[in-house]
A and B are shown apart, each in its own frame.
Chain A
Amino acid sequence: MKERVGIVGIGVTGFNSVSPSLSFKELTYTAAVKAYGEAGLHPKQIDSFITASEDFMEGYSIFDEYVPDQMGAVMRPVHTVTADFLQALGVGCMMINTGRFTTIAVEAHSKASNVKTLDEVQAFALDPVYLRPLKENAKFVAGLEMKCFLEMTGNTEEQCARVVVKNKKNSQKNPNAAYGAELSVDDVLNSEPISTPLKRLDVSERADGAIMVVLASEAEARALCKNPIWIDGIAWFSGNGNLWSRNIAEADYARLAMRKACSMAGISDPRKELHFAEICDEYSYKELQHLEALGLARKGEAGYLTESGVTSLDGDFPVNPSGGSLGVGHTFEASGGMKLYEAVLQLRNQAGARQVKDAKRCLVQSWRGVPTATGAVAILSNE
């Protein structure tokens, strides 16, 4: 990266299945107060503000008009990135790299519990001519991806179930997580089929919550903060948007974003140079598929790495120490943010019972969910 960008403040609310006691504005405000407090900044000292949100998830058109109050951004420059939090974070880094901005605040939140027709919103993302007339629940996309991925790589349904068991176990040690559980592989394998081979427990459940991050230029980050966490590389890519002609077995977007982010960060052997990863596990198989696309496992090896404990909290290369979307809850546009928060805690040595030893460098990865082929990767370090 031309110049590194530092994270000088971060705040989250807990993640919960519902959050009736706070409006979406109050939810974001709660996270923002923590982030600005850590950064030691009044919002008036922040140069620009970004929110990652999707109008259909909010139930408002032009949702960006409803965000300034709770970010402390009244009469200030604000814009929305309609994508995952990590993509908004990338935009913030680019703004700082222009030299025109010193500090940027980036926010994302989920009030998924307020969307009463979540499956309809997902269906609305399907192509109106070629897909919607089939009238399938949008999760069929995950089912056919999973089928193709398992068939092409030799990974198994049982190995996918092990991802669920591992992540729900990790999240028991995460006070912010909503879906911690002690499950067996059989519990997962015997859960109701959704879109075979996808079963109920392979699917993460929705959660509400907010995250706010304050970014600063390298010089400003050093002045503001004793232990800034550095963004060494960040990138996002889209694969083929057409479901019927894309490389369904492999997550091209993750492979491409990883290559770019690693080249920005000067990383040539990610498995050796990185110490853990927070990656998208919205569905169990996605963790395995992403591990292989990111080059952290060879083709067909991700399931074995899970089975043999390499990706466990005490393994050689922990994956989703937070518990991931399966354990913490799936927060839609805020998903990359929830995972970034874990990465920052780990790199600051503040992750408590789930602390990864000697964690100095890691990657965070997000995916936009079905039916997309879009995702982002960020490489972070603490030195």
Chain B
Amino acid sequence: MKIEKVPMKGLTSEEYEKALKISWKPKLQYAWDNGIAIGKYLQGLKEGKLLASCCNRCGRIMLPVRSFCELCWRPTDGEIAVNDTGVVNTFAICHVNWDASRLKPDEPRHIPAVIEIDGASKGQGIMHVLGNVDPAKVKIGMKVKAVWKPVAERVGSIDDIRFFEPY
């Protein structure tokens, strides 16, 4: 095949329709076992609590719950409920959706943030989103608090917290 015969552009919709092609939509479905740690953490969320694991060797209070301390290489020593408040460690202001489509100018921006939770060890944060806040006013170090869904709507998911808002 001579290279100059290859059209150096994308196909138009019309050309695409006519092109010889094969398509395949994979059907990939999973149901991951929670096991011990994730199970406890999700149950905590359903009850409106953020649970953290303690390691008596390194003294860390770690989020989310884990059944072993990955640094000390030993089982953790139980869970405690930490606060549902924290400090913004870092954040991004997103102008595109999950599927890469652009948000319309009047749609609120998504603000995913790492939130260091009060009562857990330094650097122990969770990922969530900020809400009820002007994106221009969000700052690293800002104090935020969880806004929970009503009890009846909670299912044991990180979505049981709607978002974190400044307080």
Contacts and interface: CB of A to CB of B under 8 A. Distances in A.
A binds B: yes
Given A29-B67, A68-B70, A74-B70, A23 B26 contact: no
Interface in B31-74: 31-38, 66-68, 70-71, 73
B22 interface: yes
B70 A20 contact: no
Interface stretch (A124-132, A266-274, A348-356): A124-132
A68 B70 CA distance: 8
Interface residues on B, range: 20 to 34
A23 B73 contact: no
A120 interface: yes
A115 B68 CA distance: 25
B33 A23 contact: yes
A129 B31 contact: no
Contact of A56 (B22, B28, B37, B73): B28
B28 A26 contact: no
Contacts of A133: 22
A72 B69 CA distance: 9
Interface string B71-92: 1010000000000000000000
A81 to B, nearest CB: 22
A120 B73 contact: no
A129 B29 CA distance: 23
A128 B22 contact: yes
Contacts of B66: 69
B70 A111 contact: no
Contact of A22 (B31, B33, B70): B33
A25 B39 CA distance: 13
A114 B31 contact: yes
Given A23-B36, A23-B38, A116 B70 contact: no
Contact of B32 (A69, A70, A111, A129): A111
Contacts of B27: 117, 120
B24 interface: yes
B167 interface: no
A26 B30 contact: no
Nearest to B26: A124
B32 A26 contact: no
Interface range, A side:
20 to 34
Contacts of A26: 35-37, 67-68
A59 B30 CA distance: 6
A115 B66 CA distance: 23
A98 interface: no
A178 to B, nearest CB: 16
Contact of B73 (A24, A42, A116): A42
A21 interface: yes
A375 interface: no
Contacts of B73: 33, 36, 42-43, 72
- Residue from the set B22, B26, B71, B73 with the largest chain A CB neighbour count within 10 Å: B73
Contacts of A42: 73
B35 A114 contact: no
Nearest to A116: B29
A59 B67 contact: no
Contacts of B35: 20-27
A21 B67 CA distance: 12
A116 B38 CA distance: 20
Contacts of A23: 32-38
Nearest to B30: A59
Contact of A21 (B22, B28, B36): B36
Contacts of B30: 59, 114-116
Contact of A132 (B24, B38, B67): B24
A19 interface: yes
Interface in B96-149: none
Given A23-B38, A59-B30, A72-B73, A29 B68 contact: yes
B33 A20 contact: yes
Given A72-B70, A128-B22, A133-B22, A111 B29 contact: no
Given A42-B73, A68-B70, A128-B22, A24 B28 contact: no
Interface string A1-34: 0000000000000000001111111110100010
Given A23-B33, A72-B70, 7 more contacts: A22-B33, A23-B36, A68-B70, A111-B32, A116-B29, A116-B31, A124-B28
12 contacts: A22-B33, A23-B36, A23-B38, A42-B73, A72-B70, A74-B70, A114-B32, A115-B29, A117-B27, A120-B27, A121-B28, A129-B22
The 9 closest A-B pairs by CB, nearest first: A23-B35, A59-B30, A116-B29, A69-B70, A22-B35, A120-B27, A26-B35, A117-B29, A20-B33
